[in-house]
Amino acid sequence: MSTEPRIAFKAGRAFRRENTNWVDPDPTKGAVILQNGEDGLLHFIWKNRTTNDSEEDLILFPSDATFAPVTQAASGRVYVLKFSSSNQRHFFWMQDADSTRDKDFVQNVNRLLLNPEELPVWFTGFPDALGTAAFEEPGTAQASSSSSSAQPAQPSQPAQPGQPGFQFTQEQLNQFQSMIESSGAGANVPPELSLTDVLTPANLTPLFTSHPELIQTLFPHLPPDLPSPPTPQTIQQVISSPQFRAAVRNFDQALRTGLLGGLVRGLGLPEEAGTGVEAFLRAIQDQAREGGGGDSMDTD
Amino acid sequence: MSGEDDSSGWQLTESDPSVFTELLKSLGVPLVVDDLYSLDSGALSTFQPIHALIFLFKWVGSSAEPSSGGQYDLEFPGFFAHQVVNNACATLAVMNAIGNIPDLPKGVQLSDLINFTVGMDPQTRGMVITSADWLREAHNALSPPSAISLEGLGLPKTTEEAYHFIVYLPYMGSVYELDGLKDSPVQHGPYEEKGEGWLAKAREVIEARIATYPPGSLEFSLLALHDDPLPTLQTSLSEAQASGNHAAVEEIMVRLANENSKRERWAFENSLRRHNYVGFIHALLSAMGKAGALDKAKEDAQAKMQERIAKRKEKGEAAMDED
């Protein structure tokens, strides 16, 4: 795999003020460069154009990151690189005085971030080759640019009266409480594994490439009220989303209580599958071997 | 009043502009909420006219919280409700804001509720609002349905504590601070109509407030409650097209495209927020099983967990060595 730059454009960095959503641009002239590394992985590099040093070098796994516009920035030319696997955020502002190619660069960055095998597509001409073109004056950043929303509050799952399905009553909860306390389970027993480490984009994305027919089995379980019809990319977006990750954490915690026998029967699994994370995974493995798992959809 | 654990059926929501905007839509109010990343005039002018600012924060200090200045207004004639259920804090802040915006279109249920509380004291008003079933349902519609309730099981909490919300808005010539946890609204003094109007005064007050916290102890966000820009943009677009002003048409179309793509992103996020993922999780694991990928994933996950536990033990032992 060649290690030449695949996309490059003039961009400066911006940094977030601690504990706030406020982002201050840095005037240093720089460039964003996407290129394949010797390791065969896609690298997202920020290079200082004055010193010619590469000051940031991020390795990107397929669909782990996106490069999104920060719509609140008054200049309209601020972007954020964000990751599904961590809370890292890197802010950049376009420094080419000509903004007509911004959209092209950004679209192609995202195509590569999703799938490094993709070839960039250019609609308005050929990209600058860094180091050979003469640089114009960089665009000026606004006094304060903006970042994309990073509200940290996660929803919890308190009881909602009257909900059908798998809702526990207060009495059942009290019973579970005393069962857990008397069994000595919970905080004292270290868990063997967490579902959050199983259902990662790194584990799931290669699956969609190697077994595209399995994607079909997932569509019926996506949110039913999406603004546009789902595509395979929607599945990527969902598994990378904070909402899905929170749901997996929540389900993992619930499984560890060992009390989900009733719930998992609704999924066509034996009651034993609701007694823990390992048991759940074993039961699914068995179901998959027997050719099931796709038909028993007794969920809400 | 209600203790910390009495959620009274109100679910905790995320404090995202998309969540607030969706709530406003369900209340029949044509306003939108956006993140503000700065209080400078450039950032504020993006969203003019701004009807209210919502300051949400989490204070992680240990000493007493600093006072915020201004004067209590016990005779405040507008709409002010106490926060009586913690999980309802976001909706309560929205109510305190929209209850004081003149000539604001509202759905029937909302108008009736606000009218019903005229003349009530803040505590009673807060209780009445929190008891409105339809409002609680609109609020709860913004977060995941509880397929699995973990309340009351004594499990370690993985979610964050709620942020606190404060509304700043203009009322009868002065800037007011409406904090549902304070006895009454706080008046911060008059503002001048010219230039940025009430926002200039609000900026002073909010920046002064931020400055009173020790550095690094305050996590906060600022939201702007403003008119939905889409109808105005549409009208401007038609006018620019009719008058053949191509430059203006281009510019407006870019802004429209940005706004629409933001709304689509918000709609996508909200749809993800409302979803019950149990079926999806099962389907994903089944797919991994069928593809023969589950065993390896399990082993890797077990290894990661061992690492984590080992690291924690190291840290624990290191702390002890330091004694």
Residue of A nearest to B294 (CA): A285
Task: List phi, psi (to 5°) of A75.
Answer: -75, -15
Tell me which H or E stretch contains A34.
strand A30-36
Let me know if B89 is a catalytic residue: yes
Report d(CA B224, CA B95) in Å as an integer.
Answer: 14
Highest-scoring range by mean pLDDT, B9-23, B25-39, B161-175: B25-39
A134 contacts chain B (CB < 8 A): no
Interface of B with A in 169-188 (CB under 8 A): none
Write down all domains in chain B, each with its CATH number in brackets: 17-227 (3.40.532.10), 284-314 (no CATH)
Most B-contacting residue of A198, A213, A281 (CB-CB within 10 A), to test interface: A198
Structure tokens at A189: 């027993």
Q: What is the DSSP string of B124-174?
A: HHHHHHHT-HHHHHHHHTTS---SS--TTS-PPP-SPPPPEEEEEEEETTE
Q: How much is the pLDDT for A141?
A: 32
Cβ contact (<8 Å) for B146 and A158?
Answer: yes
3-state secondary structure of A59: strand
Distance from CA of A153 to the nearest CA of B (A): 5
Q: Are B209 and B223 in contact (CB under 8 A)?
A: no
Residues in chain B: 323
Nearest-CA residue of chain A relative to B277? Answer: A247
The pLDDT of residue B119 is 93
B61 reaches A (C-beta below 8 A): no
Per the CB < 8 A criterion, the answer to whether A3 and A36 are in contact is yes
**Partner residue facing B301 (CB), from A193, A217, A257:** A193
Whole-prediction pTM value? Answer: 0.64
Q: Which of A175-179, A221-225, B56-60, B142-146 has the highest mean pLDDT?
A: A221-225
Bridge partner list, A251:
none
Residue A116 distance to chain B (closest CA, Å): 22
Question: Which pLDDT belongs to residue A99?
Answer: 78
Nearest to B284 among A142, A143, A204 (CB): A204
Name the residue facing A192 among B7, B158, B302 (closest C-beta).
B302
- Listed as ranges, residues in chain A with pLDDT below 50 are 1, 123-170, 184-187, 293-300
> Can you give the pLDDT at residue B63?
59
Helices (H), chain A: 102-114, 170-183, 195-198, 201-210, 215-218, 232-239, 242-256, 261-265, 277-289
Contacts of A190 in chain B (CB under 8 A): 305, 309
A154 to chain B, any CB pair closer than 8 A? The answer is yes
Residue B248 has pLDDT above 60, yes or no: yes
Which of B51, B82, B139, B164 is the catalytic position? B164
pLDDT of B159 reads: 44
Kindly determine whether residue A193 and residue B162, on different chains, have CB atoms separated by under 8 Å.
Answer: no
Q: B74 falls in which pLDDT band (50, 70, 90)?
A: very high
Q: What confidence score (pLDDT) does residue A153 get?
A: 34
Task: Please tell me which of the candidates B152, B219, B301 has its beta carbon nearest to residue A198.
Answer: B301
Instruction: Look at residue A160 in the predicted model and tell me its pLDDT.
Output: 34
Report CA B69 to chain centroid distance, whole Å: 24
Closest CA to B110 of B25, B168, B50: B25
Where residue B304 falls among pLDDT bands split at 50, 70, 90? very high
Give CA A154 to chain center in angstroms. 15
Residue of chain B with shortest Cα separation from A178: B153
Contacts of B288 in chain A (CB under 8 A): 198, 203-204, 207
Contacts of B18 in chain A (CB under 8 A): 149
B3 lies within 8 A of chain A by CB: no
- Split at pLDDT 50, 70, 90, the class of B246 is very high
Assess A176–B contact: CB distance below 8 Å, yes or no: yes
Q: Is B274 on the interface with A (CB under 8 A)?
A: yes
Distance CA B185, CA B268 (A): 36
In this prediction, residue A189 carries a pLDDT of 63
**Can you give the pLDDT at residue B294?**
93
Whether chain A has a CB inside 8 Å of the CB on B133: the answer is: no
State residue B268's pLDDT score. Answer: 96
Q: Which of B142, B276, B280, B300 to mutate to test the interface with A (most CBs of A within 10 A)?
A: B280
Provide the pLDDT for residue A177. 52
Across chain B, mean pLDDT equals 87
CB contact under 8 A, B144 and A163: no
Q: Which of B4, B136, B282 to mutate to test the interface with A (most CBs of A within 10 A)?
A: B282
B contact test, residue of A80, A146, A151 with most B CBs within 10 A: A151
Residue B250 is inside which H or E element, if any?
Answer: helix B246-273
Does position B125 have pLDDT exceeding 80, yes or no?
Answer: yes
Question: Does the CB of A167 have a partner CB in chain B at under 8 Å?
Answer: yes
On the CB side of B267, CA atoms within 13 Å amount to 13
Pair B149, A159: CB distance under 8 Å: yes
Question: Picking from A255-264, B25-34, B187-196, B232-241, which range would have the lowest pLDDT averaged per residue?
Answer: A255-264
Three-class secondary structure of residue B267 per DSSP: helix
In chain A, residues with a C-beta closer than 8 Å to the C-beta of B222 are 21
**Measured between CA atoms, how close is A266 to chain B, in angstroms?**
10
Find the mean pLDDT for residues B204-212.
90
Nearest residue of chain B to residue A211 (CA atoms): B291
Residue A181 structure tokens: 């306390």
Q: Among all residues of chain A, which has the CA nearest to that of B273?
A: A243
CB contact under 8 A, B288 and A174: no
**Which two three-digit tokens encode residue B100?**
């004081």
Tens-digit pLDDT profile for residues B94-108:
999 999 999 999 999
Q: What is the ipTM of this complex?
A: 0.80
Stronger pLDDT, B3 or A262, i.e. the higher one: A262
